[in-house]
């Protein structure tokens, strides 16, 4: 079970207490080894605050290995969700901003999905627990469902495979660079 709590101080301050409580709820229901993937320089600070009943290992520089070997993951919203999808990691995505930021941003939001994997899919592929929905109980409920129900985990993996197909084969950056280069060559030819 992998946890990617985020890398910024504000994310860790808002996410970590909820994730620590959720991990205790999960551990109380089923034996789990938690692997917390720390951003560079964050490993020591992430070792504090876990329940003594929670088996947790904090790693740095091993995010991809942790995701690739996880039966389920809790991932802070951002590019890490796409990385988890590419590694076929069933996940629950979480995020919380300050109440003021949420109030200011709400009128600007025009989408039903917030996380990249669901935006790419055009539908909910993985649960999004954002703001008030991001509670220890909801996180634990979704994760326990993935851990206990092989069909749910397999179904999510199948949908993540569809997301990977939408992203196209490896080499997207190179293909984009080639397309831009071709456009530049064409436009420079038209300029003469």
Q: What is the largest CA-CA distance in the chain?
A: 72
pTM over 0.95: no
- 73-128 pLDDT, tens per residue? 999 998 899 999 999 999 999 988 766 776 776 766 666 777 889 988 889 999 99
User: Burial level of 134, CB count in 10 A (0-12/13-18/19+)?
Assistant: buried
Cα 162 to Cα 23: distance, rounded to the nearest angstrom = 29
Question: How far is residue 71 from each of residues 85, 146, 156, 181, measured CA to CA in Å?
Answer: 13, 8, 12, 42
| Strands of the 55-60 sheet, one edge to the other | 55-60, 33-38, 2-4, 73-76, 91-95, 128-130
Mean pLDDT value across residues 141-158: 97
Domain residue spans of the chain: 2-191
Between 192 and 167, the higher pLDDT residue:
167
Give 147's pLDDT tier (boundaries 50, 70, 90). Answer: very high
Tell whether the torsion through CA atoms of 128, 130, 133 and 134 is positive or negative.
positive
The architecture CATH gives domain 2-191: 3-Layer(aba) Sandwich (3.40)
């Amino acid at each position: 079970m992998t946890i990617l709590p985020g890398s910024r101080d504000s994310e860790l301050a808002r996410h970590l207490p909820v994730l620590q409580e959720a991990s205790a709820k999960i551990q109380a229901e089923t034996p789990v080894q938690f692997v917390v993937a720390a951003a560079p320089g964050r490993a020591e600070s992430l070792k504090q605050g876990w329940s003594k009943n929670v088996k947790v290992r904090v790693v740095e520089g091993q995010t991809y290995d942790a995701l690739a070997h996880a039966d389920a993951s809790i991932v802070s919203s951002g590019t890490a969700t796409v990385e988890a999808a590419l590694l076929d990691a069933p996940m629950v995505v979480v995020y919380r901003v300050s109440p003021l930021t949420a109030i200011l941003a709400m009128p600007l939001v025009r989408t039903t999905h917030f996380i990249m994997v669901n935006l790419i899919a055009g539908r909910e592929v993985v649960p999004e627990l954002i703001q008030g929905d991001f509670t220890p109980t909801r996180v634990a409920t979704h994760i326990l469902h993935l851990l206990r129900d092989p069909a749910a985990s397999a179904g999510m993996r199948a949908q993540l495979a569809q997301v990977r197909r939408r992203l196209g084969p490896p080499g997207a950056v190179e293909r984009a660079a080639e397309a831009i280069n071709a456009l530049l060559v064409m436009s420079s030819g038209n300029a003469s």
